[in-house]
Amino acid sequence: MLDAALLLARLALAVVFLLSGSAKLFDRRQTTRAALDFGAPAFVAVAVGAALPFVELGLAVAILIPESAAVASLIAFVLLTAFTLAVVVALVRGRKVECNCFGLLGARQTVTLKSVLRNVLLMGLAAFSVAARGDAARLARWRWLTSAPDTARVSLAFSAGLLVLVVILAAVLFRVIRQNGRILLKLDELETGKRRDAPAAGTAHHAGLPVGSPAPDFRLDGLHGEVLTLASQIAAGLPVLLTFTDPGCGPCAALLPQLSQWDRELRGQVTLVLISRGSADQNRTKLVQPLSTVLLQRDREVATAYHAYGTPSAVLVDAQGRIASPVAAGAEAIRKLVDALRSPAPQPSAERRPTQLAPFGGPVPDVPLTALNGSPANLNDKRSNDTVAVFWNPGCGFCQKMLPDLIAWEAGRPAAAPDLLIISTGSAEANQAMGLRSPILLDGNFAAGRAVGAGGTPSAILIGKNGAVLSSIAVGAPAVLSLLQPQTDTLPAAASPNGQPHARSSHR
């Protein structure tokens, strides 16, 4: 009985790895993309896409050979454990990752607890195959293959391979037919909807949310770990051009250099925000030229909320947070939308006038703040020494990681170093609990950060004792700590990790 159970367990494992490896072999690009979505570095993802199909096929064969079955089952157990841990980490982090376990043979669905339970079941079969000791004499019945005539073995191998190929082709054909059926149904629905919702003569029908309706807010991670919202992007009183792309989209990749150029050309007039998906590393490799703001949605939830169903596409949100244009679908439509934005824009109303960002070398803006003891203060107060103003948030994880560095800097402050001033959100109690000796001013709505062009925490600028802005925005702990070192007569602008000066980040 044990031998029968052992044989069934090994057959089940072999079939699973045979189907999985064969399917991945025909869909290696998606396997690589799935590895990237799980958070693997680019070089690891490429290696996984190239090697994993052959590893799984090799395990399928080795599990059926009595001499190698136990070792192959142990390798299968380790591999399944790695898969399971990757799925659990993705679920804990809230990532929506498409499962590519059976490549073209299975419907692409996001990983769930069902994926974990399925892997645990397979791990149990693999563990049983390793631990159980079958009757060698009975298991040796597989060895008749080695004593059979060459012609019989070749014929059997050819038949088995042909059977596997027929199963794979049948599954792929079924998948294609099912997918085409869905496409035809969707087209029929769209056509029916067009006939039902056809606008009257003389009216316009546009894609996307109605112009003038409230734009859906979002909270997304940036490429450098910052967290951004729509509210923080429109806080400076400028319209925001949301552009939706995908790292696997060819037309998107072709449009990225143009987006970078528009980002520079429209700065101060329109805020360009790129919303992509996938991992940060995956998107960094696609950015040949830098963009000020790149956000990562988990799947397509933000694009769907804006009714932007294809990539590349774009929509304009005005400074009041309302939809200001239909969805521009495709590169050409986006270019036309940008051309329209290049024309002179009307002056904003007095109640929503954009904040005047502090220019390099210009005076520090007049922004009221509050000291921890409740007394009034101002960003442009006169100071006796050059001062690094660090924009902070006690609830920001990146600020918390940087806090020990600031405490260490205070303890061993270099000679001729500038003063440190913390401009923070949060309560007085939360800021006092950090244990910093440097002065802390409270800025509940991040007005000071926005006034100088900072949108994220931690970030900083250098203010001269004459009240002039002596640097551009330093974003992230390394750049801020560099600004706190003794300065030379000529201070270069603080740069982002890609080497470009920061104009805006995000407010956490």
Domain membership of residue 212 (yes or no) is no
More confident residue, 407 or 144: 407
* Same domain as 68, residue 6: yes
Please check whether residues 6 and 143 belong to one and the same domain. Answer: yes
Give yes or no: residues 130 and 16 share one domain: yes
Same domain, 434 and 335: no
pLDDT digits (tens, 9 = 90+) for 105-135: 444 566 778 878 888 888 888 888 888 755 4
Least confident of 70-84, 135-149, 464-478: 135-149
**343 pLDDT above the threshold of 60:** no
Percentage of residues of the chain with pLDDT beyond 90: 10
Quick one: which of 220, 344, 209 has its CA closest to 273? 220
Taking 60 as the threshold, does the pLDDT of residue 507 lie above it? no
* pLDDT single digits (tens) 449-471: 878 877 678 888 999 888 888 88
CATH number, domain containing residue 334: 3.40.30.10
Q: Which pLDDT score, from 0 to 100, does residue 179 have?
A: 55
Whether 126 maps to a domain, the answer reads yes
Measured CA to CA in angstroms, residue 32 lies from 53, 58, 296 at distances of 11, 19, 19
- Among 13-27, 29-43, 134-148, 379-393, top mean pLDDT goes to 379-393
Q: What is the mean pLDDT of residues 212-236?
A: 82
pLDDT of residue 349: 38
Give per-residue pLDDT as tens, 164-182.
665 666 555 555 555 555 5
337 and 394 in a single domain? The answer is no
Q: How confident is the model at residue 492 (pLDDT cuts 50, 70, 90)?
A: very low
- What's the pLDDT score for residue 316? 93
Task: Kindly give, in sequence order, each residue whose CB lies less than 8 Å from that of residue 351, ignoring residues fewer than 6 positions away.
Answer: none
Q: Which of 114, 105, 112, 2 is nearest to 56 (CA)?
A: 105
The closest alpha carbon to 108, from 48, 182, 219, 160, belongs to 182
Answer whether residue 109 is part of any domain: yes
pLDDT score at 9: 83
Nearest Cα to Cα of residue 220 among 270, 289, 294: 294
Task: Give the separation between CA 452 and CA 360, rounded to whole angstroms.
Answer: 10
pLDDT of res. 188:
52
Q: Do 339 and 377 have their domain in common?
A: no
Tell me, yes or no, whether 223 lies in a domain. Answer: yes
pLDDT at 258: 87
CA trace torsion 183, 184, 190, 195 (10° rounding):
170
Among 179-193, 213-227, 433-447, name the one with the lowest average pLDDT.
Answer: 179-193
Kindly report the average pLDDT of the chain as a whole number: 75
- Who wins on pLDDT, 128 or 359? 128
Of the chain, the percentage scoring pLDDT greater than 70 comes to 69
Q: Which domain holds residue 424?
A: 368-483
User: What is the reported pLDDT for 99?
Assistant: 64
In a domain? residue 321: yes
Q: Which of 101, 131, 147 is the last residue of a domain?
A: 147
Tell me the C-alpha distance between 487 and 493, whole Å. Answer: 12
pLDDT recorded at residue 459: 87
Can you tell me the distance from the alpha carbon of 122 to that of 449, in angstroms, rounded to the nearest whole number? 53
| DSSP string over 85-148 | HHHHHHHHTT---B--TTGGGS---B--HHHHHHHHHHHHHHHHHHH----HHHHGGGGHHHHS
Amino acid identity, residue 470?
A: L
**Total count of domains within the chain:** 3
- pLDDT tens digits, 88-103: 887 776 666 666 565 4
Query: Is residue 160 within a helix (H) or strand (E), and if so which, with residue range?
Result: helix 150-196
pLDDT value for 160: 63
Distance between CA atoms of 469 and 471, rounded to whole angstroms?
6
Domain end (from 100, 116, 147):
147
Judge whether 31 lies within some domain.
Answer: yes
Instruction: Count other Cβ atoms within 10 Å, centred on residue 63.
Output: 29
Is residue 101 a contact partner of residue 20, using CB atoms and an 8 Å limit? yes
Regarding whether 137 and 16 lie in a shared domain, the answer is yes
> Are 456 and 505 spatial neighbours (Cβ–Cβ below 8 Å)?
yes
Rounded Cα–Cα distance for residues 47 and 356 (Å): 49
Pairing mode, strands 440-442 and 419-424 = parallel
Indicate if 339 and 379 belong to the same structural domain: no
* 16-32 pLDDT per residue, tens: 888 888 777 776 767 77
Decide if 191 is inside a domain: no
> Of 188, 263, 269, 271, whose CA–CA distance to 229 is shortest?
271
**In the chain, what are the helix, strand and coil shares in percent, each to the nearest 5?**
50, 15, 40
Select the more confidently predicted residue: 226 or 52. Answer: 52
| Per-residue pLDDT at 315 exceeds 90 | yes
Residues 328 and 416 in one domain: no
> ∠ CA 142-148-152 to the nearest 5 degrees?
110
Per-residue pLDDT at 497: 37
Residue 106 and residue 10 in one domain: yes
Written as six digits, the tokens of 301 are 């939830």
Q: What is the DSSP letter of 443?
A: -
Under DSSP, the state recorded for 434 is T
Same structural domain, 258 and 382: no
Checking if the pLDDT of 206 tops 80, the result is no
Same domain, 333 and 405: no
| Domain membership flag for residue 115 | yes
Per-residue pLDDT band for 390 (boundaries 50, 70, 90) equals very high
Per-residue confidence band for 15, with pLDDT thresholds at 50, 70 and 90: confident
Residue with tokens 């692409």: 108
